[in-house]
Every structure is written in structure tokens, then in C-alpha cells.
Amino acid sequence: MKDNGLIIAPDPDAVRLTRAVKGVDHLGQPQEIRVVEERPLTIFLNGQEIVTAMTIGDYPEYLALGFLRNQGMLQDGEVVHRVDYDEELETVVVRTDGKTNYEEKLQKKTRTSGCAVGTVFGDMMEGLDKVSLPDVSVKTSWLYDLAHQINTLPSLYLQAGAIHGTVLCQENRPLVYMEDVGRHNAVDKIAGWMLSERAAAGDKILYTTGRLTSEMVIKTALMGIPVLASRSGFTAWGVEIARQVGLTLIGRMRGKRFICLNGAERLIWDADLSQVADDSKKSRRKGAEND
């Protein structure tokens, strides 16, 4: 557990995650800033190559496990024997007892709207038919507490921008905070951690800094998490899927404001708005300047 109470927190000072780059500003003055690194990571399931993702390079084992789990390539109850990461070859191999034969599935790729180009596979929607999310109440005070804590934590976003964060929360407590160039990678890292630690999903909230797209809603639902919240806005398909699976969907969380487009009946309006800051954007302004 970190000093800030998180199990996993961003490490903006990690050497491999950013690089110093020199340039000039709008006045022609020399400047040196930190910019986020991007690295390819090729994921194998047993002997079969599945995908190459662009990532910042931290927690590659969690990213591989979460990606495969969210794509339905790791089934419930399937035993993962080893996860081998080779930093030099930039590969992760997830090893199971099951046979791997996803040639047909791999031909049905869909590029998503995620930053750094997310990828889902054509039959991913089929798994939603089996999703049954718990009917969980959410206090509005939790939402405001989470937004304040997450937006003020040290992060790569605040240092370098050009990155998304996803945070696994329980009530008003952030637990695991992952960042990456694509929000799809960040949520897959969360999924991989949950799979590795056998963490329960039914009492959790997933908070993301990115847009609430169909991909984010699908992955959250498949993970069994009943609440998804974001500083950003929605896509129509994301809202439609949330309503289909019964996911509480909350967006545009800024200061005292938010919009709930599904699951409003589960909200408990207990927050004292006089105690909530008008605008939480100030705490993330530095990162926004670097985007």
C-alpha cells in the first residue's frame, strides 16, 4: 500500500516512461519538457501471436492478462501458469493449459476510437449477453471525493500530458491507478491486476479520464464492474450499450457538475455541494498544457 493509500499509483519519476526533449516556445525561447514514451508490446497466448500494442511500457504482464481477458481469450476459471515478459524482445507470453486457435477471431478486428488506436475483435459484443451487473447504490459524495483525489495525485498526466488514466475505486477510495497512451491499455492493466489478484468487481467503481466510448463500456461490463465514471463525455453507442447491460454511466464530472445517462435511480444524493470546489480543472491544468 502506497503512502497515498493506493495499492498501485502512478510513478511520474520512472526513468523509462518519459524522455526530456528540447524545443522552443511561442516566444522563441528554448524549453525542455518531458514527453511520454511509446513502445510496442507484442502479446502471445501460448504459441500464438495475438496483437502488438503501443504502450508506455509499465506493467506489461497486467496489460497482457487484461487484454486477453477483455477479448474473451482467457475464460473464467482458466488457469494461467506463467506470464513471461522479455524486455529486450518487447514481448509478453501468457501460458495456459488450453489450446490456442484464434486465427478466425484475429481476422475480425475492429479499430476503435481510442487514442493510440485500440483494437477489439469482432465477436466481443457476444459476451455482453451473459453479463449480469449487480444493482449497486452510489453516493454522490463518493464521486466528488474520487474526482478530487484522482485529479490531484502525482501522475504522468500532470508531468507530461498526452496520456490517459484509469482508476479502480471502492466507494470513495482509489485503489489501483494505471496510465497509458490509450485509455484501452489503462483499463486492460486494471483488468489484468484484478485477474492476477482475484479481486472482486461487484463493489467497485471504474474512473477514467477518457471518453466513455463503446469500447470502454464493453470492457467495464465484461470486467463485472457496475459503475463507470469520467471527466470526459459520451458516445451514443457507449450510452446504448450501458443501458443494455445495466451499467451506471456518469460523465462530464467537473467541479460540482456531472451527467448520469444511465443508472440515475442508483444514485444517493448525499453530497453537500457547498463543500465541493466549483472547478476541478485547475488541478489538472499543467497536464492539459502538455497535451
Are 109 and 180 part of one and the same domain? Answer: no
Are 153 and 271 part of one and the same domain? Answer: yes
Q: How many domains does the chain have?
A: 2
Final residue before a domain boundary, out of 122, 156, 185:
122
Lowest mean pLDDT among 40-49, 58-67, 93-102, 130-139: 93-102
- Under a CB-based contact definition with an 8 Å cutoff, are residues 130 and 245 in contact? no
| Model pTM score | 0.88
Residue 100 resides in a domain: yes
Domain range for 152 is 138-290
Cell numbers linked to 76: 473464467
Are 64 and 157 part of one and the same domain? Answer: no
- pLDDT tens track for 243-260: 999 999 999 999 999 999
At residue 78, φ and ψ (nearest 5 deg) are -70, 135
Q: Is the dihedral of CA 78, 59, 47, 131 positive or negative?
A: positive
d(CA 176, CA 19): 24
- Under a CB-based contact definition with an 8 Å cutoff, are residues 7 and 176 in contact? yes
- pLDDT tens track for 25-62: 999 999 999 999 999 999 999 989 999 999 999 999 99
